[in-house]
Structure 1
Amino acid sequence: MTTAALALGDDALVLSHRLGEWAGHAPALEEEVALANIALDLLGQARFLLSLAGDEDELAYLRDAHAFRNVQLVERPNGDFAHTIARQLYFSTYQELLYEQLARGRTALAPLAGKAVNEAAYHRDHAEHWTLRLGDGTAGSRERMRRGLEALWRFTGELFKPVEGCEADWSALDGTWRERVTDTLLRATLAVPEGPRRVAGAAGGGRQGVHTEAFVRTLAEMQHLHRSHPGARW
């Protein structure tokens, strides 16, 4: 259970932080609020999941990068807005499908999954809306969306590597994920990326503590205040 709670909790925590980086930089005020709300949903999920594995603050702020078990997809830099939407489409589609399965299970993850599946469905709907709008928009927005989808495609295979403690049919999840993502991209007049869905040279990827340089920098920023004032109470 600890393995699953850490893996899913780290996914949510890291992506929440990435989306939070859009504060003050989103293309429109309405979208800034939407991204902030998604980030808060994910932070709530992370707090519950990490509390199943130990002290949530210690796990969030006092672990080194190699101790985190999030997939590399969620730690990728935001890039432009289309790049962020591509990352969100891939991840939220996966998370909704996974939580649907976990909600029907008997593990300690079921209560969280039963609630969070509705949040994930909203996140996926938001990402789909923007994928359609950008893909079937101007030539410039379509090209940006295409670049984002292709750049992140190779990070999606790791989503479906089995996680100890998660009662899920990973092969079925992968197949359904591909069907849903393909349907969205075709409706957006975008091609499904054709490259491999794995990161070359990543020995097991983020689930085994192998992370990118960008994540190390982001983690240092996220943990700076807590580490600078140990034991502080607000």
Structure 2
Amino acid sequence: MSDDHVYLSLAEGHEDGDARWAFGTGFEDPLYGVSTAVPEGVDPAELAACCLALGDDALVTAQRLAEWTTRAPELEEEVALANIGLDLLGQARLLYARCGQVDGTERGEDAYAYFRDADDFRSVRLAELPNGDFAFSMARLLVLSAWRLAHFERLAASADPVLAAVAAKGVKELTYHRQYAAEWVVRLGDGTAESRRRMQAGLDQVMPYVSELFAAYDAGETVLAVLRQVTEAATLSLPAVPEAAAGSGREGEHTEHLAALLADLQSVARAHPEATW
């Protein structure tokens, strides 16, 4: 297997600078100078629902990535996963802030992250599943980042200037997230017999949850084209996408894993609700 960037052709059109750590270290405000007024013709309720769902996806995924700290195969991968999680956390903060501006509550980002129960979250189920082994986490990250990137590319042209700015910033970050995951899928799939077995198992475990993503936003062909390209380079088989199961995280119907994840995530804020840091 060549260790070159076998995935780089997927990133064509996203080459404007190194945006790997846009929220991790850059601290550039993507909303500077952007009007927060809701444009005429934009439904505030629909805008709030979109921001909430995408913010929840990002927060829950970031929490799962944070769980790899001290557990990743190498220190370099710990740093990479932590920074990807920081990118997503930054996206969640901006999306929650926008949600509070347009849903009539004026709630801040902490209220959405720390003081809602699992039934109130609108994240997709794939994001909340336990990490499993590294291969499963890379398969999940590939699917989630490919889907989110396709969605954000569309939202960059949103009539709402705030959502458009968040999406445009996110496209740069998600392009790297997708690249990182794809390279690991190829490395593991085209590696040893054991790494190949685990990588194939990771894909097999992830695919039953993909139909929920396509139902949430129809980017099926775009995402599947990415997965086909990556799995072909990895000499892996791409499982079929099953029919969508009843219920959805978008409707507040989650696996039992989300409540446990939120208990960890929210414990300090709920124990000290007036604290600031």
Give the structure-1-normalised TM-score. 0.92
Q: Deviations over 1:95-126 (max 9, x none)?
A: 11111111122223100011110100000000
Q: Which has the higher Rg, Structure 1 or Structure 2? A: 2
Residue matched to 2:205 = 151
Alignment of 1:211-222 (within 5 A): 211-222=254-265
Aligned-partner SS, 2:204? helix
Alignment of 1:42-81 (within 5 A): 42-54=88-100, 55-81=108-134
Whole-Å separation in 1 of the counterparts to 2:130 and 2:243: 18
Whole-Å separation in 2 of the counterparts to 1:41 and 1:146: 27
Deviation at 1:38, TM superposition (A): 0.2
5+ long unaligned stretches in structure 2: 1-46, 101-107
Q: 1:192 aligns with which of 223, 231, 238?
A: 238
Alignment of 1:25-104 (within 5 A): 25-54=71-100, 55-104=108-157
Residue matched to 1:121 = 175
Deviation at 1:211, TM superposition (A): 0.7
Whole-Å separation in 2 of the counterparts to 1:104 and 1:195: 29
Letter in 2 for 1:231: E
Residue matched to 2:276 = 233
Contact 1:6 1:49 survives alignment (8 Å): yes
Letter in 2 for 1:219: L
5+ long unaligned stretches in structure 1: 163-169
Contact 1:23 1:32 survives alignment (8 Å): yes
Whole-Å separation in 1 of the counterparts to 2:209 and 2:244: 6
Residue matched to 1:166 = none
Whole-Å separation in 1 of the counterparts to 2:159 and 2:276: 37
Whole-Å separation in 1 of the counterparts to 2:125 and 2:189: 25
Name the one with the larger helix percent.
Answer: 1
Whole-Å separation in 1 of the counterparts to 2:144 and 2:184: 14
Give percent identity, aligned residues only: 48
Contact 1:156 1:197 survives alignment (8 Å): no
Letter in 1 for 2:206: L
Residue matched to 2:38 = none
Q: 1:109 aligns with which of 150, 163, 173?
A: 163
Contact 2:138 2:184 survives alignment (8 Å): yes
Whole-Å separation in 2 of the counterparts to 1:113 and 1:156: 21
Whole-Å separation in 1 of the counterparts to 2:214 and 2:109: 25
Spell out structure 1 runs of 4+ moving beyond 2 A. none
